[in-house]
């Protein structure tokens, strides 16, 4: 469930009127609900109670320090993919020894940094990387904890850019070569084999592909565990999806069914599909959810600048753009769009909602039926908490947006809006 609701005609986040935040910080701006993040984390944690487990929040989804701090205080571990992410964890009061370090292209600087700080494990994706980590660990005279990512070759049925578990993807090592690679790792003197990892993709709404991957891998993990007794965990990755378009599916506009929508994969259904398969392993089970924790906990606020009617279409032009939220342009991602104040309640018309950037890909909605909007009105793009701000850029020299965290009836700015001076900082004339 998320904490964005209309009270009378005004859209609230928890106890705070979003219009008040828009008045104070301006638009565009990101707003997150602390309550939603906490609830998502706790519900998943609770659903997995029968397993010895750890939730390693995939911080690539949203890496604001305040959000990391919130999750660290909830007891989250973290899945990181760069030296910059490790730096953020340390700044946010998190601990390196509760981080797993993933990614196909770790650099020497990043590996050294992670070894010096003492990360819990490197999730390794190739033999070349295994050898490189071994060499660096030798130079530093430490043992590097490693897990190897298995590519289970299952189809997650998700967008091709966010599907990772097929053998044609760049991720992981094929099932057929697995024992051989673990043997090679065991022969390297500066490595400690700590686990096994997999991840099949993102935005998966059906428990089946998760169960399929786990079912396929459990016997293999069993074998590896017997061969390498230092193995203590099996990470089944992230990928639990959220419902972005409940109104589309149910055919009505009462969009806050986004809680337990029939199409939503609940933590309970997910746990039911995988836990019985995992339990007999007797290993610690790690999860790496990103989107599930923060996706429906954030909105992007924008103001309508102009309404432009052409013979073909009505374009509602807002002040946010693809550089602020790239998901529609990149994955044809769907985000519900609702007015902050719906007291005007106009008739719905078919429109495109677009930003000011000079590209035809700069849209948030195409041919969508939405109550007509007027210049000066403000809207919220829902479910923008994951892969929203973190994927933003300053394209068209548009400063990065502020981020606000709501907690009950209080709110605070957790990132200031960039200024024009910030935009050119570091550039040399």
Binding ligand LLP by CB under 6 A: which of 331, 342, 415, 418?
A: 331
Residue 422: both structure tokens together: 């910030």
CB of 128 to ligand LLP, least distance (A): 18
| Measured distance CA(57)–CA(63) in Å, rounded | 10
In whole angstroms, how far apart are CA 8 and each of 17, 48, 345?
A: 11, 37, 12
Nearer to ligand LLP, 165 or 339 (CB): 165
Binding ligand LLP by CB under 6 A: which of 27, 36, 62, 202?
A: 202
Nearer to ligand LLP, 94 or 237 (CB): 237
CB of 140 to ligand LLP, least distance (A): 25
Q: Is 118 left (phi over 0), alpha (psi -120 to 50) or beta?
A: left
Helix (H, G, I), strand (E, B) or coil at 322: coil
Asked if 154 interacts with ligand LLP (CB under 6 A), we say no
Nearer to ligand LLP, 234 or 292 (CB): 292
Asked if 48 interacts with ligand LLP (CB under 6 A), we say no
* 363 closest CA partner among 315, 399, 402, 306: 315
Asked if 290 interacts with ligand LLP (CB under 6 A), we say yes
Number of residues that bind ligand LLP (CB under 6 A): 22
| Measured distance CA(363)–CA(404) in Å, rounded | 24
Residue 408: both structure tokens together: 């009950």
Nearer to ligand LLP, 79 or 341 (CB): 79
Angle between helices 207-227 and 178-187 (to 10 degrees): 40
Nearer to ligand LLP, 85 or 288 (CB): 288
- Neighbour-count burial for 228-241, b at 16+ CB within 10 Å, e otherwise: beebbbbbbbbbbb
Binding ligand LLP by CB under 6 A: which of 82, 203, 296, 383?
A: 203
Residue 64: both structure tokens together: 């604001």
Binding ligand LLP by CB under 6 A: which of 207, 237, 246, 267?
A: 237
Asked if 291 interacts with ligand LLP (CB under 6 A), we say yes
- Annotated catalytic residue: which of 56, 99, 121, 358? 358
List interacting residues with ligand LLP (CB under 6 A). Answer: 58, 61, 79, 102, 162, 164, 199, 202-203, 237-240, 288-292, 327, 331, 386-387
């Amino acid at each position: 469930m998320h904490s964005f609701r209309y009270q009378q005609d005004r859209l609230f986040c928890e106890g705070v009127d979003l219009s008040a935040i828009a008045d104070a910080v301006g638009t565009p701006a990101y707003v997150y609900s602390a309550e939603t993040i906490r609830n998502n984390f706790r519900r998943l944690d609770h659903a997995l109670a029968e397993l010895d487990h750890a939730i390693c929040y995939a911080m690539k989804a949203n890496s604001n320090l305040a959000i990391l701090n919130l999750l660290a205080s909830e007891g989250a571990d973290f899945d990181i993919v760069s030296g910059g992410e490790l730096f953020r964890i340390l700044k946010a009061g998190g601990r390196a020894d509760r981080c797993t370090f993933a990614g196909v292209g770790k650099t020497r600087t990043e590996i050294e940094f992670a070894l010096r700080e003492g990360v819990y494990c490197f999730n390794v994706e190739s033999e070349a990387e295994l050898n490189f980590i071994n060499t660096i660990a030798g130079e530093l005279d430490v043992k590097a904890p490693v897990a190897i990512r298995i590519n289970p070759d299952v189809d997650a049925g998700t967008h091709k850019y966010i599907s990772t578990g097929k053998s044609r993807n760049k991720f992981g090592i094929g099932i057929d070569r697995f024992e051989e690679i673990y043997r090679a790792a065991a022969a390297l003197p500066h490595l400690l084999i700590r686990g096994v990892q997999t991840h099949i993709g993102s935005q998966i709404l059906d428990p089946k592909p998760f169960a399929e991957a786990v079912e396929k891998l459990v016997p293999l993990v069993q074998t590896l565990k017997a061969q390498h007794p230092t193995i203590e965990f099996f990470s089944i990755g992230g990928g639990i999806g959220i419902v972005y378009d409940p109104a589309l599916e149910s055919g009505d506009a009462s969009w806050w069914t986004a809680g337990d929508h029939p199409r939503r994969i609940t933590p309970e259904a997910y746990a039911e599909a995988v836990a019985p398969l995992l339990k007999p392993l007797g290993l610690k089970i790690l999860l790496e959810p990103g989107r599930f924790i923060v996706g429906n906990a954030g909105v992007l606020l924008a103001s309508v600048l102009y309404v432009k009617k052409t013979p073909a279409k009505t374009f509602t032009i807002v002040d946010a753009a693809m550089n602020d939220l790239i998901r529609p342009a990149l994955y044809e991602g769907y985000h519900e769009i609702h007015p902050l104040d719906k007291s005007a309640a106009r008739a719905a018309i078919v429109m495109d909602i677009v930003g000011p950037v000079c590209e035809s890909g700069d849209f948030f909605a195409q041919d969508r039926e939405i109550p007509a909007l007027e210049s000066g009105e403000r809207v919220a793009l829902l479910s923008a908490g994951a892969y929203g701000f973190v994927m933003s850029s300053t394209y068209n020299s548009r400063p990065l947006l502020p981020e606000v965290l709501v907690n009950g009836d209080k709110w605070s700015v957790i990132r200031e809006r960039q200024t024009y001076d910030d935009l050119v900082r570091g550039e040399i004339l």
